[in-house]
Chain A
């Protein structure tokens, strides 16, 4: 599907294949890729995480505030990840320990995280970050920004671990049938907790790059990121009933969304159509998923 869309786009607008355009498509994806990967794990576990977009905003604000108060650049990244991970731990605790519906838990933490970020900044941008921090996101190696390497590394490692590493691979089983997984000795609660922490950490990573590349902290960073991540994960084979999905698939989902929005820019279509088309893509993805499942059932 990605190839088909890319092919059509290349035919319609030759500039699509320009090296600079391809690089810009690639760098545009660095924020969505980690979030979609984390979302895939959470969906595989039978959950959902609506709070990732808000966690990006909160992490961005916390990082910027720390840096502006004279904090060290070296510590800024661990602090950002700790803030994000803390929010994820709250999600994980409420879902795994108190067994509250993940939709409601993450809806609640979404409001809390976005609200806290807004309260901390009164809605203003926090600019004036040290150049050394900005270098994290804007610095380049062989003409490619650092974050691209980091994100690709994270995605590949995450993908391999979820496929091959038994403790993580168990997530599929735990998502399909929690009681059975529990009986066969899998610590489902711990796995679910880890899933939400991982998802939040991924959002934190995205926030680090966003804050650095855009050189400011802003409470509204990451708005709707959760919806894009869910759409990408579902396009990549994840299902709401848990037990399926792959990081590689989600990455292709992100790529598809990125190529399509790039197409809108290149073909100079009104951005107004973008919403219609992304909604329709989701419908197509659902239909593909439905027919795939039906085929499996009839077999």
Chain B
């Protein structure tokens, strides 16, 4: 009974998991393995202080990855996030300096960020061009706007109460981390289980089929881009609070790091696949690797090389998993009933 039985259980488990789920599990395993290796090599790695540094170093990318996942699942892309981040930070900073109350300053910054998302979605729809080009245009223009409204100088001089967002603590954890966890759970649930979330997958998988089955594609896409932009705005507000200043230099190349993390998390740029859980693991993976470089004293210049290799590796693996899934489905019908019987 024992070995044959466990073998069959493992077999069933493998059959019941989708390729995407298996990939995510593998990634989780890789993250845990990486953590274990680092903890074994460097005792100070598992230090709670270092774990916190590790998490907080990538907190901005983590916020952005939540929205980017939705965009990439819908079959799009948003390059403008790296401009929205400093934009929201600067708007908040300028309003605070002008004496606006903290909640109002944050609210206006988030609304403005959401507006940019709506603009992206509208341009995509009206001009009917690939979101890459639309959001590239938005990114370039908005970075210019950031420079124009600040004159290139950092904005500083915020009230004490504003620092809570980026530096305060709740339940013994950094407040931003708690906020992120709550948002990750909410957006993860939304994408996986809510009707709108499922429509996002449908659109990314096959727009025409989605439209034929009555999905209001344009409205869902507006929501997706607004979500992505708002989260980039939130990341900007958090950054302004963390650094107690706002600068046009915030978020340089963050769009690439975020897309890298989401791709490592198993989302395909063709749309239709990906999950918030996977993306969070992707961010964590990047964060650990970057932290490991700092810890081991290897030149940080290697980070780019490694993150590039990881993107390629992750994409190839995810693709291999998907291909295996396809061939299995092709020969599947004979196997399925057998599995069902055992169950």
Q: Which positions in A face B, CB cutoff 8 Å? A: 48, 94, 98-101, 103-105, 107-116, 118-119, 122-123, 227, 230-231, 234, 239-241, 270-280, 282-283, 286-287, 289-290, 293-294
B304 touches A234 (CB 8 A): no
Residues from chain A with a CB closer than 8 A to the CB of B151 are: 272
The 9 closest A-B pairs by CB, nearest first: A275-B144, A279-B141, A115-B304, A111-B308, A276-B144, A115-B305, A279-B140, A112-B308, A272-B147
Residues from chain A with a CB closer than 8 A to the CB of B123 are: 283, 286
B303 touches A290 (CB 8 A): no
CA distance A240 to B307 in the complex (A): 26
6 A-B interface contacts by CB (under 8 A): A104-B263, A122-B299, A271-B147, A275-B140, A276-B148, A286-B137
Closest B residue, CB atoms, query A284: B137
> B145 in the interface, Cβ–Cβ < 8 Å?
yes
Residues from chain B with a CB closer than 8 A to the CB of A111 are: 256, 260, 304-305, 307-308, 311
A272 touches B319 (CB 8 A): no
Question: 0/1 per residue, B298-319, Cβ < 8 Å to A?
Answer: 0101111111110110011001
A100 touches B140 (CB 8 A): no
A115 touches B308 (CB 8 A): yes
Distance of A222 from chain B, by nearest CB (Å): 14
Given contacts A103-B269, A276-B144, A286-B133, list 7 more A-B pairs with CB under 8 A.
A94-B316, A115-B301, A115-B306, A234-B133, A273-B144, A278-B144, A289-B127
B144 touches A279 (CB 8 A): yes
Closest B residue, CB atoms, query A107: B311
Contact of B312 among A108, A115, A274 (CB under 8 A): A108
Distance of A106 from chain B, by nearest CB (Å): 10
Contact of A100 among B152, B301, B315 (CB under 8 A): B315
Residues from chain A with a CB closer than 8 A to the CB of B302 are: 115, 119
**B129-145 residues at the A interface, CB under 8 angstroms:** 129-130, 132-134, 136-145
> B195 in the interface, Cβ–Cβ < 8 Å?
no
CA distance A156 to B148 in the complex (A): 39
CA distance A122 to B300 in the complex (A): 10
Given contacts A111-B305, A282-B137, contact A287 B127 (CB under 8 A): yes
B144 touches A272 (CB 8 A): yes
Residues from chain A with a CB closer than 8 A to the CB of B130 are: 240-241
> B57 in the interface, Cβ–Cβ < 8 Å?
no
B316 touches A270 (CB 8 A): no
Residues from chain B with a CB closer than 8 A to the CB of A98 are: 316, 319
> B259 in the interface, Cβ–Cβ < 8 Å?
yes
B152 touches A286 (CB 8 A): no
A118 touches B311 (CB 8 A): no
Closest B residue, CB atoms, query A118: B301
Contact of A101 among B129, B148, B268 (CB under 8 A): B268
Q: How many residues of B contact A (CB 8 A)?
A: 46
Distance of A114 from chain B, by nearest CB (Å): 6
Residues from chain A with a CB closer than 8 A to the CB of B127 are: 286-287, 289-290
A112 touches B138 (CB 8 A): no
B126, B148, B304, most chain A CB atoms within 10 A = B304
Contact of A114 among B137, B304, B309 (CB under 8 A): B304
Given contacts A119-B301, A241-B130, A282-B137, contact A100 B316 (CB under 8 A): yes
Closest A residue, CB atoms, query B131: A240
Residues from chain A with a CB closer than 8 A to the CB of B316 are: 94, 98, 100
B129 touches A290 (CB 8 A): yes
CA distance A294 to B129 in the complex (A): 12
B141 touches A100 (CB 8 A): no
Contact of B144 among A105, A231, A277 (CB under 8 A): A277
> B270 in the interface, Cβ–Cβ < 8 Å?
yes
**B245-302 residues at the A interface, CB under 8 angstroms:** 256, 259-260, 263, 268-270, 299, 301-302
B137 touches A104 (CB 8 A): no
CA distance A276 to B147 in the complex (A): 9
Contact of B311 among A108, A114, A230, A282 (CB under 8 A): A108
A116 touches B305 (CB 8 A): yes
Residues from chain A with a CB closer than 8 A to the CB of B139 are: 279
Residues from chain B with a CB closer than 8 A to the CB of A48 are: 132
Residues from chain B with a CB closer than 8 A to the CB of A230 are: 133, 136
CA distance A123 to B304 in the complex (A): 13
CA distance A282 to B77 in the complex (A): 17
CA distance A103 to B267 in the complex (A): 13
A270 touches B148 (CB 8 A): yes
Question: 0/1 per residue, B97-139, Cβ < 8 Å to A?
Answer: 0000000000000000000000000010011111011101111
Contact of A279 among B142, B259, B270 (CB under 8 A): B142
A293 touches B128 (CB 8 A): yes
Residues from chain B with a CB closer than 8 A to the CB of A273 are: 144, 148
A98, A115, A240, most chain B CB atoms within 10 A = A115
Closest B residue, CB atoms, query A99: B319
**B52-99 residues at the A interface, CB under 8 angstroms:** 77
B140 touches A227 (CB 8 A): yes
Contact of B129 among A227, A240, A279 (CB under 8 A): A240
B132 touches A240 (CB 8 A): yes
Residues from chain B with a CB closer than 8 A to the CB of A270 are: 148
Residues from chain A with a CB closer than 8 A to the CB of B306 are: 115
CA distance A297 to B127 in the complex (A): 14
Residues from chain A with a CB closer than 8 A to the CB of B148 are: 270, 272-273, 276
CA distance A115 to B132 in the complex (A): 24
Given contacts A275-B141, A277-B144, contact A107 B259 (CB under 8 A): yes
Contact of A272 among B152, B256, B269, B309 (CB under 8 A): B152
Residues from chain A with a CB closer than 8 A to the CB of B312 are: 94, 100, 104-105, 108-109, 112
Given contacts A104-B311, A286-B127, contact A279 B132 (CB under 8 A): no
Given contacts A277-B144, A287-B127, A290-B128, contact A119 B299 (CB under 8 A): yes
